[in-house]
Amino acid sequence: MKYRKIIHVDMDAFYASVEQHDNPELKGKPIVVGGEHRGVVAAASYEARKFGVRSAMPSKKAKEKCPQLIFILPRFQRYKEISKQIHEIFHEYTDLVEPLSLDEAYLDVTENKKEIASANDIAREIRQKIFEKTGLTASAGISINKFLAKVASDINKPNGQKTIHPNKIAEFMEALPIEKFYGIGKVTANKMHQHHIFTGKELKEKSLDFLMRHFGKSGYYYYHVVRGEHKGEVKANRLQKSVAVEHTYWEDISDDTEVKSQLKILCEELEQRLEKKEIKGKSLTLKIKYKDFTQFTRSKTQDCYYENGQDFLEIVQQLWDLRPFNKSVRLLGLSMSNLNINEKKQISVQLKFPFDEGFD
């Protein structure tokens, strides 16, 4: 069997780490990047995470969890500047780089510019160069496909790396808690627990028919990834079709004021994601899933690009008023499509040089 060598590099608490690096007085302190009043957390330092503070959390809730929390307004231009330096390092090794955001990317190093046999050594070199260039730490995952590399990069965070060797995949995946699977969130994990699925081993024991019956099309994905199978290639300059955010609520929301408060949070989070990816769009879509799992979506497309979260909020409130039901809501989501990147020429890079060496 011939395998590709894929690395997933993920900066550690990127926004917050940049702020701590640029202002040494913040080092060792619980900080978040985001607005303190009626805002949402864009990034949290590891010191803040110890208190349960997470990205996308409302600032008010974050402050309740950690009263001594320090709020820093985001400086996206600074983050972009450092991200450019990091991506220049990636391209020293390969041009098959698929950025996911300013702070993470997939690299296919099956063939690499420095002819280094070990993908593990390449990841170590890249992380060292990033630290020397920026003063920031990164974590990395190395394996035969994007899914496994992504899962691996979380194992030894922060400032570490993990290799899942081809002959260790089955053992690794069977022992992996369901919550650690990329693409399985809290709600899905809870549903799997109800079916006595707690680790990859129990997931692997379920048939494809069972998984598709209980989890829809996602069941096909779960069936294959637990076996270490994922066919997605690393695509340089991939053409993204949309940017989306959504929240599933543990308790259904029925109060209109609370819904509009949650919509404001989603607008701010969507704005931050678009800023992070340097993207704008013309089509804004509201997604509502009710407590009985019926779903409603409505979009608004305009001739010019949406500029900021306040623009989103005005339209989203109009879309909310068009909803057909007044039932309790279990999920709200926003997505931006018709993006400006669609105007750019798509460059497709596909190389096929299979090698099975270099994971050690």
Domain borders along the chain are 6-12+77-165, 14-75, 170-225, 242-343
Domain 6-12+77-165 has CATH 3.90.1150.10: no
The three-point CA angle 197-198-200 to 5° equals: 85
* Beta strand pairing call for 104-108 and 97-101: antiparallel
- What pTM does this model have? 0.71
Average the pLDDT over 330-354 and give the result.
62
What length does the chain have? 360
Instruction: Look up the CATH number of domain 14-75.
Output: 3.40.1170.60
Percent of the chain residues topping a pLDDT of 70: 93
328, 337, 186: which is closest to 262 by C-alpha?
Answer: 328
Is residue 60 scored above 60 in pLDDT? yes
d(CA 263, CA 49): 24
Tell me which H or E stretch contains 166: none
pLDDT per residue over 246-268, tens digit each?
A: 888 877 888 888 898 999 999 99
d(CA 109, CA 115): 9
43, 39, 34, 45: which is closest to 72 by C-alpha?
Answer: 34
Percent of the chain residues topping a pLDDT of 90: 64
Domain 242-343 has CATH 3.30.1490.100: yes
Query: Which residues is 98 bridged to in the sheet?
Result: 106
Is residue 348 scored above 50 in pLDDT? no
Q: Which CATH superfamily is domain 170-225 in?
A: 5' to 3' exonuclease, C-terminal subdomain (1.10.150.20)
In the block, tokens 């950690």 appear at 66
- Peptide bond preceding 158: is omega within 30 degrees of 0, i.e. cis? yes
- Could you tell me the two tokens for 337? 């499509």
247, 284, 241: which is closest to 266 by C-alpha?
Answer: 247
Known catalytic residue at 179: no
Query: Considering 19, 47, 98, 104, which one is annotated as catalytic?
Result: 104
264, 17, 300: which is closest to 134 by C-alpha?
Answer: 17
Q: What is the DSSP string of 13-66?
A: THHHHHHHHH-GGGTTS-EEES-SSS-B-SEE-HHHHTTT--TT-BHHHHHHH-
List Cβ neighbours of 258 (8 Å cut-off, separation of 6 or more).
none
